[in-house]
């Protein structure tokens, strides 16, 4: 029977988790700015075009919020996977 092989660098997995977390924070900040900007714009722009624009932005906002939540939910899993891979590699050093 073939021995299991690891084809991932656990440090790169953690780096990816860090990059995703940074992205999630940036998305959160940008979404806050977008909400603020839309509210400010709505104070002066009150016609059908504003409502159309706001309605077009809403689904994108929801998608980004969902993605941000998925990143935050999956980061601990990525870190746990990286640690499990490190443990495996300590027990089964590469030749």
Q: How confident is the model at residue 73 (pLDDT cuts 50, 70, 90)?
A: very high
Percent of the chain with pLDDT over 90: 67
Tell me, yes or no, whether 19 lies in a domain. yes
Q: How confident is the model at residue 6 (pLDDT cuts 50, 70, 90)?
A: confident
Tell me, yes or no, whether 2 lies in a domain. no
Contacts with 72 (C-beta within 8 Å, 6 or more apart), sequence order: 21, 24
Tell me, yes or no, whether 5 lies in a domain. no
Our count of domains for the chain comes to 1
Residue 15: which CATH number?
1.10.287.1060
Tell me, yes or no, whether 63 lies in a domain. yes
Total Cβ atoms within 10 A of residue 59:
9
Tell me, yes or no, whether 78 lies in a domain. yes
Tell me, yes or no, whether 3 lies in a domain. no
Q: For residue 15, is pLDDT > 90? A: yes
Parent domain of 45: 10-91
| Residue-wise pLDDT tens digits, 29-53 | 999 999 999 889 888 888 899 899 8
| C-alpha span between 53 and 39 (Å, rounded) | 12
CB 14 within 8 A of CB 78: yes
Tell me, yes or no, whether 74 lies in a domain. yes
| C-alpha span between 61 and 29 (Å, rounded) | 12
Tell me, yes or no, whether 22 lies in a domain. yes
Contacts with 37 (C-beta within 8 Å, 6 or more apart), sequence order: none
């Amino acid at each position: 029977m073939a021995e299991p092989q690891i084809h991932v660098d656990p440090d790169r997995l953690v780096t990816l988790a860090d990059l995703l977390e940074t992205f999630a924070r940036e998305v959160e900040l940008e979404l806050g700015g977008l909400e603020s900007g839309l509210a400010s714009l709505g104070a002066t722009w009150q016609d059908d075009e504003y409502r159309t624009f706001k309605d077009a932005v809403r689904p994108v906002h929801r998608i980004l919020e969902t993605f941000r939540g998925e990143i935050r939910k999956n980061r601990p899993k990525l870190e746990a996977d990286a640690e499990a891979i490190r443990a495996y590699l300590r027990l089964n050093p590469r030749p």
